[in-house]
Amino acid sequence: MQPAAADPHAEIREEVRKLCARFPGEYWRELDARRGYPTEFVNALTEAGYLGALIPEEFGGAGLGLSAASAILETVHAEGCNGAACHAQMYIMGTILKHGSPEQKQRYLPGIAEGSLRLQAFGVTEPTSGTDTTALRTTAVRQGDKYIVNGQKIWTSRAEHSDLMLLLARTTPKDQVAKKTEGLSTFIVDMRAALGNGLTIRPIRTMMNHNSCEVFFDNMEVPDENLIGVEGKGFRNILDGMNAERLLIASESIGDAKWFTQKSVAYSKERVLFGRPIGQNQGVQFPIAKAYAQMRAAEALVQKGLEKFEAGLPCGEEANTGKMLAADAAWAAAEACVQTHGGFGFAEEYDVERKFRETRLYQVAPISTNLILSYIGEHVLGMPRSY
């Protein structure tokens, strides 16, 4: 939909398209039915170097900018595949890159870049605290040269398919810090060593195939050398990576919107009723056209956010607003697609119902629409903080 000449990542998109063609609807349908992990697809992306796109060349990555990563994930989704199985491998490492010691970077980044070390799990959300992150209850208490971790996380995606987890835990009780954002710390947990030694993982069956889990810590030991950055300043480390995450998830939603729209257009032209294609009826055309317009607006804002991010400028407004508008556009396109397909929108073999379930997530995760509106109200428009 964007002219190739204007797109600096046209070549990457073309290569990703070719890779995705090896993983058609049947592949995802079969996995969806048994809630399986797309190992072959993730391996293919890893081998092609896409998951190490953002890692600097000195650590074995491709050293590309966020806009290249966005082009990769958008294309994955526009081709009917799903990046959720592995997108975190692209951006969680940003915390190590930005806040890790030189020794930690050497220890982890080359392995993450080549895929021999999977950093796919991000342990922030907890069942009781939810969006109220600073109220999290998981504690990490220093004992000699290690920390003892106790607590629970929920919705830790890909926990069963990751070697490492980036964990946010409280190291100083909330009532002993001046600000509730202080006293939280980030750790790299070696899940291979911890599994069965204080770490338990329990998968959650969800409406789509997402490999998300509950994770329990019972006196799990983490060596103090795995603390990332400064103890008590971990919330900042997590916040730093959020704009990148939002812009990338927004790109996936834009890809979804493009997939739905292309499906809707094709079907509306070939389905003939009452002697003409259904797409000739404006009642069918308009919802598809409207969702397309929404997608283009979101795409422009996300593009602006990517440019600012790559220039090192603040991009919170574009990242948050772009993420919300992209998720809304994908959902509008999904809704139009089901409606255009009539009964066939509900049939598994068309893939529409699967993508419909998958795309719904992004109005809730990684941040829900209301929280983005709060961000705009408070930080962009200067209205009073509501929570």
Binding site for ligand FAD (CB under 6 A): 122-125, 130-131, 155-157, 206, 210, 212, 361, 364-368, 370-371, 374, 386-387
| Adjacent-strand bridge partners of 195 | 199
Give me the least distance between CB of 241 and ligand FAD, in Å please: 12
SS3 253: helix
Q: CA geometry: angle at 191 spanning 140 and 151, to 5°? A: 35
In DSSP terms, 156 is beta-bridged to 213
Q: Between 162 and 294, name the residue whose CB sits nearer to ligand FAD.
A: 162
Cα separation, 165 vs 167, whole angstroms:
6
CB of 70 to ligand FAD, least distance (A): 19
Report d(CA 193, CA 220) in Å as an integer. Answer: 10
Nearest-approach distance from CB 213 to ligand FAD, in angstroms = 9
Q: Smaller CB distance to ligand FAD: residue 67 or 95?
A: 95
Residue nearer to ligand FAD on the CB measure, 162 or 340: 162
C-alpha distances (whole Å) from 329 to each of 129, 356, 376 are 29, 12, 18
The least distance separating ligand FAD from the CB of residue 280, rounded to whole angstroms, comes to: 39
Q: What's the rounded Cα separation, in Å, for the pair 194 and 149?
A: 11
Q: Count of H helices and E strands in the chain?
A: 13, 10
User: What is the token pair recorded at 262?
Assistant: 């292309």
- Report which secondary-structure segment, H or E, holds 185: strand 184-190
Residue 132 CB, shortest distance to ligand FAD, in Å, is 7
Task: Report the residue number, 20 or 213, with the smaller CB distance to ligand FAD.
Answer: 213
Residue with Cβ nearer ligand FAD (236 or 290):
236
What residue is closest to ligand FAD based on CB? 130
Shorter beta-carbon distance to ligand FAD: residue 156 or 303: 156
Which residues are 138's β-sheet partners?
Answer: none
375-380 long-range contacts, CB within 8 A, separation 24+: 375/316, 375/320, 376/317, 376/320, 376/321, 379/316, 379/317, 380/317, 380/321
- Which of 274, 387 has the CB closer to ligand FAD? 387
Rounded least distance, CB 214 to ligand FAD, Å? 11
Nearer to ligand FAD, 215 or 257 (CB): 215
Give the type of residue at 264. S
Q: Kindly report the number of other CB atoms within 10 A of residue 150's CB atom.
A: 16
Given CA atoms 30, 32, 36, 37 in this order, what sign does their dihedral have?
Answer: positive
- The residue among 138 and 268 lying less far from ligand FAD, judged by its C-beta, is 138
Query: To the nearest whole angstrom, how small is the minimum distance from the Cβ of residue 85 to ligand FAD?
Result: 12
CA angle, residues 289, 291, 295, in degrees to nearest 5: 115
Q: In angstroms, what is the minimal distance from the CB of 90 to ligand FAD? A: 13
Q: Is 29 helix (H, G, I), strand (E, B) or coil?
A: helix
CA distance 39 to 36: 9
Please report how close the Cβ of residue 361 comes to ligand FAD at its closest, in angstroms.
Answer: 5
